[in-house]
Amino acid sequence: MQDLEIYIRDLEPGAVSRWLEGQLDEVRLDDANVTSVAKGSARFNGTTLRITLYPGAFGKRFTSLVIEGDELPWNSDLECARSAWRMMEGEIRCSLGEWQEGDSVDDEKWWRLDHRGEQQVVWN
């Protein structure tokens, strides 16, 4: 199972569903309430994907979006973030590469995509 994870700042209700409906088939995600965890699914190339939104990631302004499946529509978190940014046009962040649960994130650099372009930044 593979996964992609991006962080969306100030997520608007319904924004993730609108974006994913243009990328995937059979999107089932109720993201009208962006203050609580939302779980859903979609299909890509005939396989089922799990979609989860976790509000309050890295402080109250970011929502973590995790997409899991055997085959994913993007090859990296950065590709996924670029696609999301083109649709949402807010601030999207993702890790630079492979991150494992338990790894330190204190001084780790992240990709930040926003109106200023793509930049590597320290989260804080």
The pLDDT tens digits for 90-119 are 999 999 976 555 655 555 789 999 999 999
The pLDDT tens digits for 44-60 are 999 999 999 999 987 78
Q: Which domains does the chain have, with CATH numbers?
A: 2-99+106-122 (3.30.310)
Return the pLDDT at 76: 96
- Strands, E, within the chain: which ranges? 2-9, 25-28, 38-44, 47-57, 62-69, 92-95, 109-114, 117-122
Return the pLDDT at 22: 93
